[in-house]
Structure 1
Amino acid sequence: MTVIFDGKRTIDLLKRLVETPSPSGFTAKVMALIAEELDEIGVPYMKTNKGAVIATIAGADTKRHRLLTAHTDTLGAMVKEIKSDGRLKLSMVGGFKWNAVEGEYCRIHTASGKEVRGTILMHQTSVHVYQNAGTAERNVDNMEVRIDEKVTDANGTRALGIEVGDFVSFDPRFEVTDSGFIKSRHLDDKASTALLLELIRSLKEQGAELPHTTHFYISNNEEIGYGGNSNIPAETVEYIAVDMGAIGDGQASDEYTVSICAKDSSGPYHYALTQHLKGLCQQQKIPFKVDIYPYYGSDASAAIRAGFDVRHALFGPGIESSHALERTHMDSLTASAQLLHAYVTSAMMD
C-alpha cells in the first residue's frame, strides 16, 4: 500500500495543537480538538474518565489487537503563591529546569475562564539593581511571573480572578523555517499526536483494511507518569508509544530520521518487537536510528509498570532540546510517518 503523508496538513494540525494550551491536568480543550478531528475523519472513539481518547479501526484479525499512543499533555506550571507585590510563585507541572522557561511569555488560566498574560522571570532580573542577576540560582524561590496588569499587591492580583492552583501555560512560539525545521515548545509529544491523526485520516481516505484491529490512544497525563496505563483493551498484544527521540551528546538520534528506542530509564523495550521495527525500516528504506534514552519514560513503560501483558516498543521523531525550545525537521516527521504506516499495515510477529 502506498504511503500517503500530507506534510502540509500535518504541520497545520501540529500548529493548532501546540497553540492549544494543555499542561498536564488542564487538557480539556486540546482533547476536544482531538475529538473534533476524529469526528471529521469518521472514526469511532471512546473517552476515558481521565480524559484520554481512544479511537479504533477494525482489522482482519479481531483477536490480536495493536495499540499506538501519543500524548497531548505538556509541561507547564500552577500558581503556588501570590506574593505581596502581586507577582506569582510557581509549582512545576512535568519535568523541566527553570532556566528552560526563564523569559518566556505565559498565560494564567483562571477558574472563571479568563486568561491573564505574564512573563516568567527571575526576581533578580534587573542588572541595574541586583549584582547577582546572572549568578543567582534559578529555582522555585527566585522564579516568578510578572503579570501584565496594573497590580502592585496580592489583593490586586486576586481581583483579576487569579488564585493558588490556577494553571500556567508557556507560549509555544511555533515556527516553520524555509529549510524544513519546525521550532516550538511542546513538540513533545504533539508532533507524534499530529502524526497519528494524519495516519488515521490517510488510512480512512485510502479505505485501507488493516491486518489487525488497531487502537489509537491519545493520552493526556504522560508528563506526570501515568497517561497510558489504563483502559488498554484486553485483546492488545503489541503496544507502541509514539514519542520523541532524545538528542544530545552520546545519542544516536537526530532530527532527520525516525528514532527507535531500545532502552530507557524503565529498562529495555521488547526485543523482538524492536527488531521488527528495525526490519521494517530496512525493508522499506526508511531512515532510522536506534538509541537509548537515559532519563526518559513513556506511556508504554507506564503500561508495563501497571501490569499489562503486552509487547511494548517506542519510536518517534527526533526532537532537539527536549523540554525546552524544541526543534525537529520535516525529514524526521516523514520518516516517522513512513514507519507508522509500515507497522500498522504489516502482519504482527508470531
Structure 2
Amino acid sequence: MQTPINIDPEYLTSRLKALLDIASPTGFTDEAVRYTARELERLGLEVKLTRRGAIRALRPGAAERPARGIVSHLDTLGAQVKALKENGRLELVSIGHWSARFAEGARASIFSGKGTYRGSILPLKASGHTFNEEVDTQPTGWRHIELRVDALARDRNDLVQLGIDVGDIVAIDPQPELLENGFIVSRHLDDKAGVAIMLAALEAMQREKVDTPVDTHWLFTIGEEVGVGASAAIVPEIASLVAIDNGTTAPGQNSDEFGVTLAMADQTGPFDYHLSKKLYELCGEHGIRVQKDVFRYYRSDAASAVEAGHDVRTALVTFGVDASHGYERIHLHALMSVAKLAVYHAASEVQIERDAEEVSGLRGFTRQKVRQAEQDLKADEPDVS
C-alpha cells in the first residue's frame, strides 16, 4: 500500500492502560483473554479461542494462502506461593524469569480460594531500625524475600484461615505512568504494549479499509513467559509469523526506545533471512526509523512456534524497552512505529508464492545470492609516484 497509514495514539494508549489494569501472570490470563477477544470482535474480526485461551483472530484477505501470522502475548511475569511461613509471611517462586531484585518493594495481589488479598514483597530483613547495615548487605534472590499479607496473618495457621494456600497466583502491580513527553513507565509492558500495538494496527486497518493480498491471523498467546508461547496457536495456513515483543535497550545492545528494532537473532538462532529483509525494506520504503539488534538471552513466541514443529518463516519486531523484566520504560514513538510496520507488512504483496504449499518442488524456491561488495580501491592504493 502507498497511502500513509494513520495509527490513533489515543486508541493505542487507552488499550494499553486497560490491559495493564487486568492482572494476567502466566496461568491467570482468562480476564485478559476476555477483554482482548471482545475488542477484536468489536473491530469486526472472527475470533476463536483454543482450549486454554490463546486467541486466533482472522482478518480475511484476497487469498487464504500463504497466510500471515502476527503474534504477541497476553501473559506477564508474576509469582506463586511456594510455602506458608511460620511467621505469617509467604515464600514465593517466580512465574517467568525475572530477578527478585525487582520484586522487592512491589505491591501485589494474592488470588486465594477465599478471594483476593493485598500485600507487599519485602526482603527478609526489611527494617533498617532493626537490622542496620544488614539491610544493605543481605543476599538478593527469591529465597531472600517474602510476601507480607495485608490481613491478620501472625502465623501459618492464620494464613490457612484466610484461605491462602501453596500454588496461589500472585500478580505484581504494574504502577503505570504515561507521561506527556511520550515516555511510558510501568511493569508488564512486556508484552501488553505488544498487544496494544496489534489492536491499534487492526483499528487503523478497519477504519481505513486496508485490503490485504492474503489472510492475516492475529494471534495472542498466554504462556510466552514460561516458554510455551505460540506452540499451540498456529494454523496450517500460516506461512510466516511476525512476533511483536520488547527489545532490550541496554549497554551492548543496538535497540532503541524510538522507531522499530528488528531482531536479527536471539538465543535460538537467526530469524528468517527473507522475512527479516522484507520488514527492514518496508521500514525504508515507508520512512519508519529502524535499527537491528541481536539478543543473546531472549526468546519469543516465534521460537516456541518453530520448536513445536511449525514450518513457518519467523521474524521478531520489537519496541525498545529499558530495564526489561524490571520496572520498564518505553516511548510511544516506538509503539506507533511498530504498529505502522505491522499494517504495511499485512498489506504488502506476497514475494514467495511457493510458501502457499507446505511442501513443493524446487520451482520458486528462494535464493540468497549476494553480489560481491564494490570497493573504492582508489582510496586505498599506495602512492607510487
Q: Which bracket does the TM-score occupy, shorter chain normalised? A: over 0.9
Deviation at 1:145, TM superposition (A): 0.4
Larger radius of gyration: 2
Distance in 2 of aligned mates of 1:346 and 1:260: 18
Matches within 5 A, 1:186-197: 186-197=188-199
- 1:229-274 CA-to-partner distances (Å, cap 9, x unmatched) read 1231112111111111111111111111111000000100001111
Q: Which residue of 1 aligns with 2:135?
A: 133
Q: Which residue of 2 aligns with 1:254?
A: 256
- Report the 3-state secondary structure (helix = DSSP H, G, I; strand = E; otherwise coil) of the residue aligned with 2:213: strand
Q: Which residue of 1 aligns with 2:71?
A: 69
- Report the 3-state secondary structure (helix = DSSP H, G, I; strand = E; otherwise coil) of the residue aligned with 1:182: strand
Q: Which residue of 2 aligns with 1:119?
A: 120
Opposite residue 274 of structure 1, the aligned amino acid is: S
Distance in 2 of aligned mates of 1:261 and 1:141: 34
Q: Which residue of 2 aligns with 1:150?
A: 152
1:54–1:216 contact (8 Å) kept in structure 2: yes
1:165 partnered with 2:167: yes
2:75–2:221 contact (8 Å) kept in structure 1: yes
Deviation at 1:316, TM superposition (A): 2.0
1:273–1:349 contact (8 Å) kept in structure 2: no
Could you say if the C-alpha distance between residues 231 and 180 of structure 1 is closer, same or farther in structure 2, counting changes exceeding 3 Å?
closer
Q: Which residue of 2 aligns with 1:30?
A: 32
Deviation at 1:349, TM superposition (A): 2.2
Distance in 2 of aligned mates of 1:119 and 1:321: 21
Distance in 1 of aligned mates of 2:336 and 2:86: 50
Deviation at 1:290, TM superposition (A): 0.5
- Report the 3-state secondary structure (helix = DSSP H, G, I; strand = E; otherwise coil) of the residue aligned with 1:342: helix
Matches within 5 A, 1:255-270: 255-270=257-272
Any runs of at least 4 consecutive aligned residues in structure 1 with deviations exceeding 4 A, and if so which? none
Q: Which residue of 2 aligns with 1:241?
A: 243
- Report the 3-state secondary structure (helix = DSSP H, G, I; strand = E; otherwise coil) of the residue aligned with 1:141: helix
Aligned residues: 349
Opposite residue 137 of structure 2, the aligned amino acid is: T
Q: Which residue of 2 aligns with 1:284?
A: 286
CA RMSD of aligned residues (A): 1.1
Q: Which residue of 2 aligns with 1:228?
A: 230
Distance in 2 of aligned mates of 1:314 and 1:47: 23
Deviation at 1:199, TM superposition (A): 1.4
2:201–2:339 contact (8 Å) kept in structure 1: yes
- Report the 3-state secondary structure (helix = DSSP H, G, I; strand = E; otherwise coil) of the residue aligned with 2:16: helix
Opposite residue 269 of structure 1, the aligned amino acid is: F
1:273–1:313 contact (8 Å) kept in structure 2: yes
- Report the 3-state secondary structure (helix = DSSP H, G, I; strand = E; otherwise coil) of the residue aligned with 1:165: coil
Distance in 1 of aligned mates of 2:20 and 2:265: 28
Deviation at 1:26, TM superposition (A): 0.7
2:272–2:315 contact (8 Å) kept in structure 1: yes
Distance in 1 of aligned mates of 2:66 and 2:213: 10
What percent of counterpart residues are identical? 35
Distance in 2 of aligned mates of 1:260 and 1:241: 10
TM-score between the two structures when normalised by the length of structure 1: 0.97
Distance in 2 of aligned mates of 1:43 and 1:141: 46
TM-score between the two structures when normalised by the length of structure 2: 0.89
Opposite residue 108 of structure 2, the aligned amino acid is: C
Opposite residue 312 of structure 1, the aligned amino acid is: T
Can you give the 5+ residue segments of structure 1 that lack an aligned partner in the other structure? none
Can you give the 5+ residue segments of structure 2 that lack an aligned partner in the other structure? 353-385
Distance in 1 of aligned mates of 2:78 and 2:55: 21
Opposite residue 133 of structure 1, the aligned amino acid is: V
- 1:193-244 CA-to-partner distances (Å, cap 9, x unmatched) read 0111111222122222211100000001000001101231112111111111
Alignment partner of 1:348 out of 350, 362, 376: 350
- Report the 3-state secondary structure (helix = DSSP H, G, I; strand = E; otherwise coil) of the residue aligned with 2:219: strand
Opposite residue 229 of structure 1, the aligned amino acid is: S
Distance in 2 of aligned mates of 1:63 and 1:179: 42
Matches within 5 A, 1:1-150: 1-112=3-114, 114-130=115-131, 131-150=133-152
Opposite residue 117 of structure 1, the aligned amino acid is: R
- Report the 3-state secondary structure (helix = DSSP H, G, I; strand = E; otherwise coil) of the residue aligned with 1:128: helix
Deviation at 1:39, TM superposition (A): 2.2
- Report the 3-state secondary structure (helix = DSSP H, G, I; strand = E; otherwise coil) of the residue aligned with 1:17: helix
Distance in 2 of aligned mates of 1:348 and 1:241: 18
- Report the 3-state secondary structure (helix = DSSP H, G, I; strand = E; otherwise coil) of the residue aligned with 2:142: coil
Q: Which residue of 1 aligns with 2:371?
A: none
- Report the 3-state secondary structure (helix = DSSP H, G, I; strand = E; otherwise coil) of the residue aligned with 1:102: coil
